[in-house]
């Protein structure tokens, strides 16, 4: 089907995810085609992509190399089971991924999404402690304003009330660290100076629950979905040290921060802090086929797998773990990242990106601007009694003016493809600045 001709005349059947369905269906915003830095509506209007889709199309849209790898694989191996069977591409994709994950995180488990990666990581942490005879380590510690997807585990350790309130009690074995947003860090460029001691809340958890009941701490190195919270200098280091002190596993959710987004392969590389488990998705396949992955330390793999009794070592997995099309897309994506040095490219343009986004500081109602790698958050003053209204209208204005941005509450979140050039930065920031002014 030619997507540019796809103008649905019946919007009723689809229940859209994380969408105000009724408002959307009154005035749909449709994207029918994508190429490079841009989307195109069914009518052919160009919309510059300031969000890399949903933080995921890091290498830009419509990459032929990825398309051809998917086509070729679809024609030769549509599917092969990954339970007690395998196919060459899943091993090849895991080896390639292990080459770019931080040193020591060399064992790869495949999933189909960031949410599945979060739940997989939490379950592996529990299985690890149990296999060492520490079955009492069942507490999972997340962080306020954290997002780890929407499955029961990730949702439970997540720190976004709105995502939980429709669903009653979730996992009971969780607690949360405080978030890292501080008034004293407003308008910081890059990593904030204040707040590393917020990591000491791990000690509070130990006091409260007992160290020997805690299995893992899970955080996003940079919280994305709640509006770009960049870790204060020294914070991640301190988390690492405290987890080590108490035998707690540290999990980084790098679903957004992975694959060059931070100007390095992973935030763990940029900040020089290595977790025990690292979750991924999104940029792994450039979003061309759904895929997620969990990288675990050799020690965890050895403990859970090599030391197990004969037979299946971990009763966990998905029908589509390591799907051939996803593996083909992942390998082609990693080729592009290597050949085009995308993380280095992101790093090179980051100073210009930072300058540009911080130039919005004097626009009306801008309360804070935060940035890291090729991500930025612009926090706006909510309208009295109408939370998210201002940002929502700004998003619509930008879309009408040909720029796609994303908003979360009254925070604008930007995360363009890493192939962005100066002219695109200009267009995104100018259009956004005008929209902010128009909604004063």
**Closest to ligand PLP by CB, 49 or 439:** 49
Q: What minimum distance in Å lies between the beta carbon of 66 and ligand PLP? A: 18
Q: What minimum distance in Å lies between the beta carbon of 147 and ligand PLP? A: 5
What does the DSSP assignment read for 97-166?
Answer: HHHHSPTT--EEEEESSHHHHHHHHHHHHHHHHHHTT-TT--EEEEETT----SSHHHHHH---HHHHTT
**Closest to ligand PLP by CB, 113 or 297:** 113
Interface stretch with ligand PLP, choices 141-149, 201-209, 347-355, 409-417 (CB under 6 A): 141-149
Q: What minimum distance in Å lies between the beta carbon of 219 and ligand PLP? A: 9
111, with CB counted inside 10 A (0-12, 13-18, 19+), is buried
- For the chain, helix, strand, coil in percent to 5 are 40, 15, 40
Distance from C-alpha of 82 to C-alpha of 112, rounded to nearest angstrom = 13
Considering only 147, 196, 301, 320, the residue that binds ligand PLP (CB under 6 A) is 147
**Closest to ligand PLP by CB, 206 or 236:** 236
Tally the C-alpha atoms within 13 A of residue 126's C-alpha that lie toward its C-beta. 16
How many residues of this chain bind ligand PLP (CB under 6 A)?
A: 14
Interface stretch with ligand PLP, choices 113-121, 180-188, 296-304, 391-399 (CB under 6 A): 113-121
- Over the window 195 to 234, marking each residue x when it contacts ligand PLP by CB under 6 A and - when it does not, the resulting string is -------------------------x---xx---------
The answer to whether 283 contacts ligand PLP (rule: CB under 6 A) is no
**Closest to ligand PLP by CB, 118 or 140:** 118
Q: What minimum distance in Å lies between the beta carbon of 21 and ligand PLP? A: 18
The answer to whether 73 contacts ligand PLP (rule: CB under 6 A) is no
Structure tokens at 112: 């189909």
The answer to whether 118 contacts ligand PLP (rule: CB under 6 A) is yes
Contacts of 34 (CB under 8 A, 6+ apart): 40, 49, 57, 61, 62
The answer to whether 255 contacts ligand PLP (rule: CB under 6 A) is yes
Distance from C-alpha of 47 to C-alpha of 394, rounded to nearest angstrom = 15
| Shortest-Cβ-distance residue relative to ligand PLP | 114
Task: Give the residue carrying structure tokens 């990593």.
Answer: 191
Structure tokens at 104: 């020591």
Task: Give the residue carrying structure tokens 């919007």.
Answer: 11
Interface stretch with ligand PLP, choices 1-9, 70-78, 111-119, 132-140 (CB under 6 A): 111-119
Structure tokens at 310: 């004969």
Q: Enter the DSSP assignment of 196.
A: G
Contact footprint for ligand PLP (CB under 6 A): 113-115, 118, 147-149, 220, 224-225, 253, 255-256, 281
């Amino acid at each position: 089907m030619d997507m540019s001709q796809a103008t649905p005349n019946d919007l009723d059947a689809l229940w859209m995810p994380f969408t105000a369905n009724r408002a959307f269906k009154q005035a749909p915003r449709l994207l029918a085609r994508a190429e490079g830095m841009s989307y195109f509506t069914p009518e052919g209007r160009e919309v510059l992509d300031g969000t890399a889709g949903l933080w995921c199309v890091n290498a830009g849209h419509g990459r032929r190399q990825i398309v051809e790898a998917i086509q070729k694989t679809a024609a030769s191996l549509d599917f092969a089971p990954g339970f007690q069977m395998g196919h060459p591409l899943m091993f090849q994709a895991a080896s390639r991924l292990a080459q770019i994950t931080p040193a020591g995180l060399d064992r790869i488990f495949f999933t189909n999404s960031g949410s599945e990666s979060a739940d997989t990581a939490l379950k592996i942490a529990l299985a690890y402690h149990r296999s060492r005879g520490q079955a009492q380590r069942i507490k999972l510690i997340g962080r306020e304003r954290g997002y780890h997807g929407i499955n029961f585990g990730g949702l439970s350790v997540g720190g976004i009330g709105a995502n939980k309130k429709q669903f009653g009690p979730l996992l009971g074995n969780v607690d949360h660290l405080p978030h890292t947003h501080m008034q004293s860090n407003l308008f910081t460029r890059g990593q904030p100076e204040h707040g590393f001691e917020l990591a000491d809340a791990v000690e509070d958890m130990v006091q409260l629950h007992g160290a020997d009941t805690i299995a893992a701490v899970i955080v996003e190195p940079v919280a994305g979905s709640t509006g770009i919270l960049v870790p204060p200098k020294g914070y991640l280091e301190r988390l690492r040290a405290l987890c080590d002190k108490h035998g707690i596993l540290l999990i980084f959710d790098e679903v957004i921060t992975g694959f060059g987004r931070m100007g390095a392969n992973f935030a763990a590389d940029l900040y020089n802090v290595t977790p025990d488990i690292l979750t991924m998705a999104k940029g792994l396949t450039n979003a061309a086929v759904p895929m997620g992955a969990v990288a675990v330390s050799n020690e965890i793999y050895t403990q859970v797998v090599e030391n197990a009794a004969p037979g299946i070592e971990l009763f966990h997995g998905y029908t589509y773990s390591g799907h051939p099309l996803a593996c083909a897309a992942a390998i082609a994506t990693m080729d592009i990242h290597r050949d085009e040095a995308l993380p280095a490219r992101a790093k090179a343009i980051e100073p210009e990106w930072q300058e540009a986004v911080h130039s919005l500081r004097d626009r009306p109602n801008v309360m804070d601007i935060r940035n890291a790698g090729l991500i930025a958050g612009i926090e706006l003053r909510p309208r009295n009694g109408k939370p998210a209204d201002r940002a929502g209208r700004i998003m619509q204005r930008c879309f009408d003016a040909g720029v796609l941005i994303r908003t979360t509450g009254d925070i604008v979140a930007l995360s363009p493809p890493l192939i962005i050039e100066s002219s695109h930065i200009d267009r995104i920031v100018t259009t956004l600045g005008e929209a902010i002014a128009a909604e004063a």
